[in-house]
Amino acid sequence: MKLVLTEEEQFLKDTAKNFADERSPITHFRALRDNNDPLLWDKDLWSEMAKLGWPGILIPEDYGGSNFGITGISVILNECAKTLTPSPLFATGVIGAYSITNYGTDKQKEFYLPKIVSGELTTALAIDESSHHNPADTEIIAKKEGSNFIINGKKTFVIDGASADLIILLARTSGNKGDMVGLTLFLVDANLSGVDKIKLDMADSRNYSNINFNNVKIPDIDILGDLETGGETIENILDIARIAMASEMLGNAEAAFETTLDYLKQRKQFGALIGSFQALQHRAAEMFCEIELTKSSVMGAMKAADEGSNELQRLSSLAKTMAGETLHLVSNEAVQMHGGIGVTDEYDIGFFLKRARVAEQIFGSSKYHTERYANLSGF
């Protein structure tokens, strides 16, 4: 496994960097937040991403995509994260595209995938039901009635759930809370009667929601994958999502670090640049080392996903753990090195601290993945 980007992957990364710098600087994110934008992402910007082919990177060419792999979409997310570019690319271009491509029926693929490629359709994964990530704790019920399922229950902390057109829902068709057996995935039209999306106001100003399902009728043709195999399927989907999120979090950490270095080279105290103080140099060096280690773990996970490695589960958890711990460290140090002004709204560095605290919890915290890695390793 070579931990380097191919020429094509590097080209994608460079394109994403130019796009983020020119079309979506942090001032764009700030404006959406300040204007209380209901979507918290720009439809015109999303349309431009679709024209670049980004939502279709994981989708086969037969459906209009480019089938460019997990590394391809992850490096784009990494660069967009450096300017906090708001878009549904993670929830739609990663989770939605991967889920339907790999587990959808031919009819589902024909209906949904071209719409994802064009940017017409956005998706969200509704999985968690409490403040802690654990798919096995699913309690939302899908009761069989003839050729339909009636769904009742609630999902929490759904990324891009407030604006999604299609919800990928994990529900229980048999078994009890704590069991990974008896789970089934459904494709749910977000506009169906009984679907109630409640937008959440989160610290990082990203699009999240809680979603209530009240007697929502879903035909059995809208099952994603096979009945009661959702436990295994969702773990495969989540491993891909965690790798992509780890790459995004790495981008957040890199941007926070570079912003802090620039500040150390400009800010003076006692007649000297604070970057000349040895204590701050040591702390900056520690951040640099942790970022480089995280780059290796994220790259390893991306390549494992593209190569179909048997180590994918472990490497996915390793990448998410490393990215979470590194972003936590860097965002803390960045704000502290800026001093009191770092927590004011005047400086952008506070945005990265807020994003870090939320992103750390997405699809499992570092503690969750440390335990998962240990279990997968036989400990």
Give the residue extent of every domain in the chain.
7-121, 125-228, 234-376
| Average pLDDT of the segment spanning 270-279 | 89
Q: For position 113, what pLDDT does the model report?
A: 98
pLDDT of 275 over the 90 cut? no
Q: What average pLDDT does range 179-194 have in this prediction? A: 97
Instruction: Over range 187-195, report the average pLDDT.
Output: 98
Name the residue type at position 379: F
CATH superfamily label, 125-228: Butyryl-CoA Dehydrogenase, subunit A, domain 2 (2.40.110.10)
- Amino acid identity of residue 149, one-letter, is F
Residue 271 pLDDT class (50, 70, 90 cuts): confident
Residue 329 CB coordination number (10 Å): 19
pLDDT digits (tens, 9 = 90+) for 324-374: 999 999 999 999 999 988 888 989 999 999 999 999 999 999 999 999 999
Q: Supply the mean pLDDT for the chain.
A: 96
Confidence of residue 1 (pLDDT cuts 50, 70, 90): confident
Per-residue confidence at 218, pLDDT binned at 50, 70, 90?
very high
Tell me yes or no: is domain 234-376 CATH 1.10.620.20.
no
> What is the arithmetic mean of pLDDT over 2-19?
94
pLDDT per residue over 103-150, tens digit each?
A: 999 999 999 999 999 999 999 999 999 989 999 999 999 999 999 999
Q: What percent of the chain has pLDDT over 70?
A: 100
Indicate whether 3 pLDDT > 90: no
Domain 7-121, architecture per CATH? Orthogonal Bundle (1.10)
Contacts for 141 with CB less than 8 Å, ≥ 6 apart? 151, 152, 153, 171, 172
pLDDT the model gives residue 270: 86
Q: CA 261 to CA 255: how far, in whole Å?
A: 10
Residues linked to residue 141 through DSSP beta bridges, in sequence order = 152, 172
Overall pTM surpassing 0.85 (yes/no):
yes
Give the per-residue pLDDT at 274: 86
Instruction: Provide the percentage of residues in the chain whose pLDDT is more than 90.
Output: 93
CB atoms within 10 A of CB 229: 17
